């Protein structure tokens, strides 16, 4: 069509990540060979990252509805109603591949992308979280990846002006070749002023907003839809460069034009840039779109249609504008120093037409490109279940006190202060609970309501039993929200897996999604948004299955949010839930015994619900002085965390028949630690609700002491808890 | 107290500041855009808040210091008007010639957000009359470039003239490098100009003003300013 464009050959098609079958499908759809630009557009729309072609049929099984859900998956972000005419808009998204190649910019643009997803819908971002998975601390790349990713997240979020209030950081050799960077953003909007991507009306102007288009990030989405080989480093040009300053301006300008009623539909330019945003707006509205690339603001001259359509330059938006509001909208964008250009319009025929240099460079059916992209039912293998591990068969290699010291200073359980102190977590003045607790708590405006926010997953459980692991990830998020006193409302899921073309990986994916769905249904905790990241593999080695759950809960009164720290000496320490001493896949088994085996702890969802509702009611009625979820590391690690947070020790005893090391370090689910001054009303309530509860001892002193064990100084525990990460990162240079 | 908060593109703590002013002075501040050339008539206090003006892409504060509104702020300060410059505002004030010295990258080369302890050095200024001299307050910092540096002569003058109002300290008020998170010379966290009407400080008093949110150590600064204007009226 256009001179000097390369001929479309089978090799070129393969380079674009399209299979011969997909190519056949394109030929059939068009009745002719695609042009070079059209091939680029197809590859951008039909890659795994944008089309969800391997995951779609499974994602459809997830529960997404509840009376409080305003918008479920399929839009830029999920939306839930929190009363008072307010809605919470949130989503989590991965930026794994780019962060491994270029950690600072990869992570920074991950934050930028998810923030745009939220404010595109008319919400002002009020909090960010992030879940990070890195390789073995001993791997030569790990330290630099941690430093770069953390600096990148901070560099973007701090400048943009959103508090980063929570998240998680883990280390495992299985992430040596693929780190995971999952960023979550949460925004606040008026519930009757949510903006969507669906275009309406023929002949409406399509406006390009934000930064100019450059040659960065071309084929980023395609890159993120393939495994890494030895050439990962060479893919750096596919990583975008973030500009949080422009994003902050874009936020203010977008919210201003939305408030002025200028917007019909709006979509951010994220993965696959101009292509994906234009096609989605048209396809969702059953309309065609004409784009005139000669009008697109460009950073450099001589950009081809192909480059413009595939650029993933950041901080850009596409909007369908009310025609009568054009001058007003343009004036707002000029005030903020941003580009504003009418680059096309909606059309009646469902075609996606792209003009450039006086000619037509693409003319494609818009529905087939967008919501009717290929869908695959990939074969998956049911994975062999692991045998239950008898706690009596695990001989404790060291004394309980020494095991606790080792665990509290281990890479996964130690304090992540070094990370979250690099994030501004107090800006906006609404952070009630800062990072480091079970869930972050962020006040809504001037209160009294507040949101509780958390991210959770135990990848080692997911690998050992995807179904139970998927359930557990949801249950743990639910538990963390309950432990601060919040009612869990909805979640976003970020599903990170290896190559879905391998049946065993697909088996992990399917199992985890089934588990997530089961838990969401049992806990009335619907999925309202999410993201799938597949092909997290290098040279055939996949990551641990990592379906990160981002949970959102609501507190009616922010001053009632509960923390884990002991509050004073002499409070009773109570353990809610049943302890069988489950050591299979526990952190104790891995860190102390050097074994990674056994079935993970089973999750009984009815029990989870009963125990969570019980703890939440104790907090609401002011019966407890502290509450903490029991998870990785078990009861003793939970007690140690409560002691470290307060500087107050504990005297503990147990009459349980479970072997001591299994009792203290087992990871049975549906458990919480609480402290209280008066225990009688709590025991009465527990008995009435059918919740097992046991007295474990009392707070006080400067040591954690267990019957028959050496006392452990809280100061020593705190030193170990805080020391590992700074010491590790000090070796960076 | 009528206050005006100056907003440059990329400033992001202007809402925090406006809330603190509203809660404590009982009045909403005027939000003044960087491209304006005049402050609202009758302004008592000008506040330059925190953030990343112009992305801090040149030197922190360098571009904002040259924005049109800064001529009006300089003229306001020259007439003795009170200016409170916090975090990026402090950097802007230094770049604008309102205060001496410069804020360099934190000694550890990382952004740091945490509560720190400040020793209030004097209570006889409009900015610190809400505190006692020697009092230790706990408020948050959130910056990557808060390491205050000036030449020896300037430091000697600042110290000799009692122009250091806030210093990083231990919880007991001891000046100790272990409690100086950014490496600032002499633990300097906040200084005033020669005339005593412009305060620049790195920490964020505006983030600790509500009892229901936990701490109110930042309140004294704003409450003191309100008293100052009440006393003057």
3-state secondary structure chain B: CCEEEEECCCECCHHHHHHHHHHHHCCCCEEEECCCCCCCCCCCEEEECCECHHHHCCCCCCCHHHCCHHHHHHHHHHCCCEEEEECHHHHHHHHCCCCCCEEECCCCCCCEEEEEEEEECCCCCCCCCCCCCCCEEEEEEEECCCEEECCHHHHHHHHHCCCEEEEEECCCCCCCHHHCCCCCHHHEEEEECCCCCEEEECCCHHHCCCHHHCCCCCHHHHHHHHHHHHHHC
* Helices A634-646, A400-408: crossing angle, 10 deg rounding: 60
Query: Nearest CA to CA, how far is A431 from chain B (Å)?
Result: 8
Report yes or no: B16 at the A interface, CB cutoff 8 Å.
Answer: yes
pLDDT digits (tens, 9 = 90+) for A580-639: 999 999 999 999 999 999 999 999 999 999 999 999 999 999 999 999 999 999 999 999
- Output the CA–CA distances (angstroms, integers) from residue A338 to A581, A621, A648, A724, in the order listed: 59, 51, 54, 45
Q: A453-469 burial by CB neighbour count: b if 16+ within 10 A, else e?
A: bbbbbbbbbbbbbbbbb
What string of H, E and C letters represents the secondary structure of A413-461? CCCCHHHHCCCCCCCCCCEEECCCCCCEEEECCCCCCEEEEEEECCHHH
Q: Which of A18, A440, A156 is nearest to B12 (CA)?
A: A156
Q: Is the pLDDT of residue A2 over 70?
A: no
Using an 8 Å Cβ cutoff, are A344 and A215 in contact?
Answer: no
pLDDT computed for residue A487 by the predictor: 98
Dihedral over Cα of A478, A484, A488, A489: its sign: negative
Task: Output the CA torsion sign for A22, A25, A30, A31.
Answer: positive
Q: Can you tell me the mean pLDDT for A153-180?
A: 97
Q: Please answer whether residues A184 and A550 qualify as being in contact, where contact means their C-beta atoms are separated by less than 8 angstroms.
A: yes
**DSSP type of residue A240:** -
Separation CA A475–CA A479 (nearest Å): 6
CA distance A294 to chain B (A): 29
Mutate to test the interface with A, among B12, B87, B212 (most CBs of A within 10 A): B12
**CA quadruple A150, A152, A153, A157: dihedral, nearest 10:** 140
Which of A243, A421, A422 lies nearest to residue B55, judging by beta carbons?
Answer: A243
Among A158, A426, A432, whose Cβ lies nearest the Cβ of B207? A426
- Predicted confidence at residue A382, as pLDDT, reads 86
How confident is the model over A461-474, as a mean pLDDT? 98
Each as own residue / partner, the long-range contacts of residues B176-180 (CB below 8 Å, 24 or more positions apart, any chain) are B179/B116, B179/B117
Would you give the DSSP letter of residue A16? T
Sequence ranges of the domains in chain B: 3-232
pLDDT in tens, B85-124: 999 999 999 999 999 999 999 999 999 999 999 999 999 9
Specify the CATH class of B3-232 in words.
Answer: alpha beta
Chain A: give the shortest CA distance to residue B120, in Å. 22
Cβ-based neighbours of A201, under 8 Å, separated by 6 or more: A264, A320, A346
The reported pLDDT for the residue numbered A1 is 44
Name the residue among A158, A337, A427 with its Cβ closest to that of B16: A427
Task: Work out the mean pLDDT of chain B and round it to a whole number.
Answer: 97
Q: Which helix (H) or strand (E) holds A588?
A: helix A587-591
Q: Give the confidence band of A708 by pLDDT, cuts at 50, 70, 90.
A: confident
A33-69: pLDDT as tens digits:
999 999 999 999 998 888 899 999 999 999 999 999 9
Percentage with pLDDT > 90 across chain B: 99
Residues of B in Cβ contact (< 8 Å) with A249: 9-10
**Ranges A15-24, B77-86, B105-114, B214-223: which has the least confidence:** A15-24
- The span from the CA of A487 to the CA of A554, in Å, is 5
- Site from B7, B9, B141, B222 to mutate, A interface, most A CB atoms within 10 angstroms: B9
State whether A428 and B15 contact (CB < 8 Å).
Answer: yes
Which tops the pLDDT comparison, A13 or B17?
Answer: B17
Residue A230 pLDDT exceeds 80: no
**Which residues are registered as beta bridge partners of A672?**
A576, A629
A549-571: pLDDT as tens digits = 999 999 999 999 999 999 999 99
Q: Is B94 a catalytic residue?
A: no
Beta bridge partners of A641: none
Residue A58 to residue A55: CA distance in whole angstroms: 6
Q: For position A3, what pLDDT does the model report? A: 54
Average pLDDT over residues A292-321: 93
Of how many residues is chain B composed? 233
Residue A51: the pLDDT is 87
**Average pLDDT value over all residues in chain A:** 94
Q: For residue A732, name the pLDDT band (cuts at 50, 70, 90).
A: low
**Binary contact (A158, B52; C-beta < 8 A):** yes
Chain A CA closest to residue B54: A245
In this complex, the residue of A159, A423, A429 whose CB is nearest that of residue B113 is A423
- What's the pTM? 0.96
Question: Is B206 one of the catalytic residues?
Answer: yes
**Residue A442 pLDDT more than 90?**
yes
Cis, peptide link before residue A448, omega less than 30° from 0 = yes
Q: Which residue of A has its CA nearest to B143?
A: A424
Query: For B185-201, what is each residue's pLDDT tens digit?
Result: 999 999 999 999 999 99
| Residue from B8, B139, B142, B205 to probe the interface with A (highest A Cβ count within 10 Å) | B142
The pLDDT of residue B138 is above 50? yes
Using CB atoms and an 8 Å cut-off, which of residues 129-158 of chain B contact chain A? Answer: 140, 142, 144
């Amino acid at each position: 069509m256009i001179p000097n464009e390369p001929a479309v050959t089978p090799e070129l098609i393969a380079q674009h990540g399209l299979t011969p079958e997909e190519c056949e499908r394109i030929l059939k759809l068009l009745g002719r060979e695609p042009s070079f630009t059209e091939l680029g557009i197809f590859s951008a729309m039909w890659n795994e990252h944008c089309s969800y072609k391997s995951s779609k049929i499974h994602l459809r099984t997830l529960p997404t509805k509840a009376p409080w859900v305003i918008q479920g998956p399929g839009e830029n972000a999920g939306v839930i109603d929190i009363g008072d005419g307010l809605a919470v808009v949130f989503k989590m998204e991965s930026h794994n591949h780019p962060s491994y190649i270029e950690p600072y910019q990869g992570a920074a643009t991950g934050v930028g992308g998810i923030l745009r997803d939220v404010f595109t819908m008319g919400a002002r971002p009020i909090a960010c979280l992030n879940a990070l998975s890195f390789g073995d601390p001993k791997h030569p790349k790990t330290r630099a990846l941690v430093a770069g990713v953390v600096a990148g997240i901070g560099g973007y979020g701090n400048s943009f002006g959103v508090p980063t209030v929570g998240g998680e950081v883990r280390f495992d050799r299985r992430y040596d070749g693929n780190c995971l960077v999952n960023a979550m953003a949460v925004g606040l909007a008026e519930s009757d002023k949510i903006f969507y991507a669906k275009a309406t009306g023929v002949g409406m102007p399509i406006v390009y907003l934000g930064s100019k288009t450059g040659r960065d990030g071309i084929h980023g989405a395609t890159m993120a839809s393939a495994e890494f080989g030895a050439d990962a480093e060479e893919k750096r040009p596919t990583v975008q460069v973030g500009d949080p300053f422009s994003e902050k301006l874009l936020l203010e300008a977008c919210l201003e034009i939305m408030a002025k009623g200028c917007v019909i539909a709006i979509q951010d330019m994220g993965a696959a840039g101009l292509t994906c945003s234009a096609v989605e707006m048209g396809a969702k509205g059953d309309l065609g779109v004409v784009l005139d690339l000669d009008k697109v603001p460009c950073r450099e001259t001589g950009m081809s249609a192909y480059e413009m359509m595939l650029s993933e330059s950041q901080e850009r938006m596409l909007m369908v504008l009310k025609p009568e509001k054009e001058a007003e909208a343009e004036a707002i964008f000029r005030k903020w120093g941003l580009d504003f250009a009418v680059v096309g319009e909606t059309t009646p025929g469902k075609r996606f037409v792209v003009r450039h240099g006086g000619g037509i460079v693409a003319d494609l059916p818009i529905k087939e490109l967008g919501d009717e992209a290929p869908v695959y039912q990939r074969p998956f293998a049911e994975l062999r279940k692991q045998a239950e591990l008898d706690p009596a068969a695990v001989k404790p290699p060291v004394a309980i006190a020494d095991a606790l010291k080792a665990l509290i200073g281990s890479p996964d359980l130690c304090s992540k202060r070094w990370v979250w102190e690099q994030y501004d977590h107090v800006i906006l003045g609404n952070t009630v609970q800062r990072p480091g607790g079970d869930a972050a708590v962020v006040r809504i405006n001037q209160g009294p309501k507040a949101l509780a926010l958390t991210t959770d997953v135990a990848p080692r459980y997911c690998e050992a039993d995807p179904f139970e692991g998927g359930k557990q990830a949801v249950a743990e998020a639910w538990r963390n929200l309950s432990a601060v006193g919040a009612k869990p409302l909805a979640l976003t899921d970020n599903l990170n897996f290896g190559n879905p073309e391998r049946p065993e990986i697909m088996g992990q994916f399917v199992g985890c999604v089934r588990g997530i769905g089961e838990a969401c249904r049992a806990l009335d905790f619907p999925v309202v948004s999410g993201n799938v990241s597949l092909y997290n593999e290098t040279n055939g080695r996949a990551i641990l299955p990592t379906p990160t759950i981002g949970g959102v809960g609501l507190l009616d009164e922010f001053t009632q949010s509960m923390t884990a720290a002991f509050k004073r000496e002499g409070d009773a320490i109570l353990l809610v839930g049943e302890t069988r001493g489950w050591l299979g896949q526990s952190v104790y088994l891995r860190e102390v015994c050097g074994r990674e085996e056994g079935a993970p702890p089973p999750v009984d969802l009815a029990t989870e619900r009963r125990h969570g509702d019980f703890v939440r009611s104790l907090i609401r009625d002011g019966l407890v002085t502290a509450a903490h979820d029991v998870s990785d590391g078990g009861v003793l690690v939970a007690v140690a965390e409560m002691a470290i947070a307060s500087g107050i020790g504990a005297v503990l005893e147990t009459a349980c028949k479970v072997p001591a090391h299994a009792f203290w370090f087992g990871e049975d689910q549906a458990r919480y630690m609480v402290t209280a001054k008066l225990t009688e009303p709590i025991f009465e309530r527990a008995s009435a609700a059918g919740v097992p509860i046991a007295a474990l001892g009392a707070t006080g002193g400067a040591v954690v002491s267990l019957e028959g064990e050496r006392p452990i100084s809280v100061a020593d525990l705190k030193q170990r808890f805080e020391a590992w990460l700074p010491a590790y990162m000090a070796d960076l240079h | 107290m009528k206050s005006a908060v100056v907003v440059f593109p990329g400033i992001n703590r202007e809402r925090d500041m406006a809330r603190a002013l509203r809660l404590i002075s009982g009045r909403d501040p005027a939000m003044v855009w960087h491209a304006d050339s005049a402050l609202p008539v009758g302004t008592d206090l000008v506040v330059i808040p925190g953030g990343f003006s112009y992305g801090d892409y040149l030197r922190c504060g360098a571009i904002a210091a040259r924005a049109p509104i800064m001529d009006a702020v300089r003229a306001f300060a020259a007439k003795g008007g009170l200016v409170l410059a916090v975090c990026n505002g402090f950097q802007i004030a230094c770049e604008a010639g309102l205060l001496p010295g410069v804020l360099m990258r934190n000694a550890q080369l990382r952004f740091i957000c945490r509560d720190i302890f400040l020793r209030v050095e004097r209570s006889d200024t409009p900015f610190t009359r809400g505190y006692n001299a020697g009092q230790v307050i706990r408020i948050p910092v959130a910056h990557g470039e808060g390491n205050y540096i000036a030449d020896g002569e300037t430091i000697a003058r600042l110290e000799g003239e009692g122009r250091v109002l806030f210093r990083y300290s231990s919880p007991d008020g001891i000046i100790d490098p272990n409690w100086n998170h950014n490496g600032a010379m002499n633990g300097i966290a906040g200084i005033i100009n020669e005339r005593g009407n412009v305060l620049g400080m790195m920490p964020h008093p505006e983030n600790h003003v509500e009892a229901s949110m936990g701490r109110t150590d930042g309140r004294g600064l704003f409450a003191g300013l309100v008293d100052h204007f009440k006393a003057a009226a």
